[in-house]
Chains A and B, each alone.
Chain A
Amino acid sequence: MDIGWFLAVSALIFTIGAVGVLTRRSPLVILLCLELMLNAANLALIAFARMHGNHDGQIFAIIVMVVAACEVTVGLGVIVAMQRRRLPIDVDEMQELRG
């Protein structure tokens, strides 16, 4: 398959993730949509790595996966903390950083 097809799929997945971040209200789903965007970037990185016959893009993708795992861990910790404080799990309700 041509590399361009992979890039088109990557762009479409990134767009879906961005629309999800903009429209959904639950922080859990917003984190999931962030994962979508990161994965779309991963797909583009690997496609370019294949295009150039070079491994650097694959290493980039692995590092992106590490950063995504960290982001998920901290984000889910914040959500669990919100749940313990009986705060509403809704990004529209959260307008200030202090408890």
Chain B
Amino acid sequence: MGEVLFFVAGIGAIAGAIGVVAVRNPFYSVLALVSHLLCLAALFLLLRAEFVAAAQVVVYAGAVMVLYVFVVAYVGGQDEPLGPRAGNSLKTVSVIFGAVLFIELCVATLGSGLQLIDSGGTPAPASFGSPEQIGTLLLTKFLLPFEVASFLLLIAAVGAVVLARRRGGLTNAEEQARYSAMDILRPAYTGTMAEGVGGRHTLPQASGANEPEPEPEPVPAAEPEAGEK
């Protein structure tokens, strides 16, 4: 039973992976990755990692893939030619590199001489991989990585909002004249990120005598209706 399930899930995972690489439409690539992740969760279950399998299905195949689908729908899933533009030679070289990498990985893992690698693993208690065990470890032995991971998620969320926000900039004179505490830390024309994205134009008095060079042209607004009130 375990062997049959392994081969079904393993072939499904490999087929999903090939589908991600080989399909031309990015939307179908995302769908292939979803099926790949589901098969991989089955493999995790075979390895007695119940909690990781559940997290894989719920978080990965659920939430992250929905994010992908949204972005593919926003960008527009236009087909792209598969081969690299430089010609077919680069593709050949990359496939040869992949084959070499596969051989190297097999040598590194299967040829490592580990004694347990040809067994089904050490006998484990029935509660191996249960949420209770994982939770206990996360809050005792791995408390610091757990907290660092939460900070990393927070930073990534803030960074994504900053990256993907509307880059219209401030066109209203009152808004430009409004100072914040951050302006002391980043004077005008010092190459701050706010100037780089066009989010801040010249300060009222800074555009006069202090700055002889011409004002850098503001980045055009992404949408024409962004600025005008």
Contact = CB atoms under 8 A, between A and B. Distances in A.
Q: Of residues B37, B49, B59, B138, which shows the largest number of chain A Cβ atoms within 10 Å of its Cβ?
A: B49
Given A15-B101, A52-B116, A84-B167, 8 more contacts: A18-B101, A22-B98, A42-B40, A58-B52, A62-B51, A74-B159, A77-B160, A80-B71
A39 B76 CA distance: 26
A95 interface: no
A84 to B, nearest CB: 5
A25 B85 contact: yes
- Mostly, the B contact residues are helix
Given A1-B3, A28-B71, A65 B59 contact: yes
- Mostly, the A contact residues are helix
Interface string B1-13: 0110010001001
B149 A66 contact: yes
Interface residues of A, number: 74
B110 A7 contact: yes
Interface in B8-40: 10, 13-14, 17-18, 20-21, 26, 29-30, 33, 36-37, 40
A51 B121 contact: yes
A19 interface: yes
B145 interface: yes
